[in-house]
Amino acid sequence: MTVSPFARALDTALDRSVVPGFSKIGYAVRRRLPTWPADPAIGALAGRHVAVTGATSGLGTATARQLSDLGAHVHLIVRNTDKAADIAAELRGASTTWKCDIGDLDSVRDCAARILADGPPLDGLVHNAGAMPPERAESPQGHELSMSIHVLGPVLLTELLRPAMKGRDARVVFVTSGGMYTQKLPVDDPDYTHGEYSGSTAYARSKRTQVELLPILTTRWARDGISVYAMHPGWAATPGVTDSLPAFDKVMGPVLRNVDTGADTTTWLIASQPRPRGGGLWMDRRERPTSFLPRTRPTSDERRRIWEWAAQAVDLTP
């Protein structure tokens, strides 16, 4: 057996075992394997403009910092502009802040209009903004909040910013979660109106939806030269994990990844050359399976139905 097949088999074994693979152990082992892709070149994003939602904490801040270190002009799309000012002051390069509540579709439309009017062309867009409401909450448009923040807002923002990314080899990254492996596509109840509500289940459902829309969004946005990816950061120690999943944070804390490790593959997808193949789910710089269990694997008809729901919710023609 040559080194490369052995390394790939070890990588896959880590992935299937979950605990070591999703933890900092998995990242540390994979980075030392000969199958690990090269880091982006110094200055790889010089002269490029990349937008990051949810950039004021956790993975979003780490992503903004890494992109800036590679030379990008980083556009911070945030709800709290005061926090963004603190982040911007720490970045090595130039940045611009745009106020936007990703869960509010009217706010998304307003933000996109301002970026198109006053901002430069974009070479990348990272959908990092996230939330895990402990109780069911709705967006101003009446959609379950997790689904609105993780699916509807990002889809609408990308769609509206297509003119700014057209013909620029732009890359769009959805920051998803390993929790989506536990859930199937909620085609019959995307707004979680039935049954007892669970914040973690709603979160995982919305992340499953992100991933399963990839084939459709890839086809839709490819006409403008835009590649789309989902990126699973592994288990990372973030303020969101600490606040929303305190028991998990307490038990798994010693092996959680730091935010820079969690953000690594997002930055790599945006900056690496040649362009990675779009349309898939990535973790630790390698494309991963989207389902491990048959019950969570949707049909093409189920993908079509969830896309029709999402498109209608944000007033797009599917």
Tokens at residue 51, please?
């937008």
Give the C-alpha separation, 154 to 126, whole Å: 9
Instruction: Count the alpha carbons within 13 Å of 92 in the hemisphere toward its beta carbon.
Output: 14
Give the C-alpha separation, 224 to 123, whole Å: 12
Tell how far CA 137 is from the center of its chain. Answer: 22
Given 27, 181, 192, 203, the catalytic residue: 203
Pairing, β 73-78 against β 95-99: parallel
Q: Are 202 and 138 in contact (CB under 8 A)?
A: no
Kindly list the strands in the beta sheet with 286-288, ordered across the sheet, starting from the edge strand earlier in the chain: 95-99, 73-78, 49-53, 124-127, 171-175, 227-231, 281-283, 286-288
Closest CA to 134 of 288, 292, 243, 227: 243
Backbone angles phi, psi at 287, to 5 degrees: -70, 135
Per DSSP, the chain holds a count of helices (H) and strands (E) of 15, 8
Closest CA to 235 of 212, 259, 213: 259
Residue 203: active-site member: yes
Catalytic (active-site) positions: 203
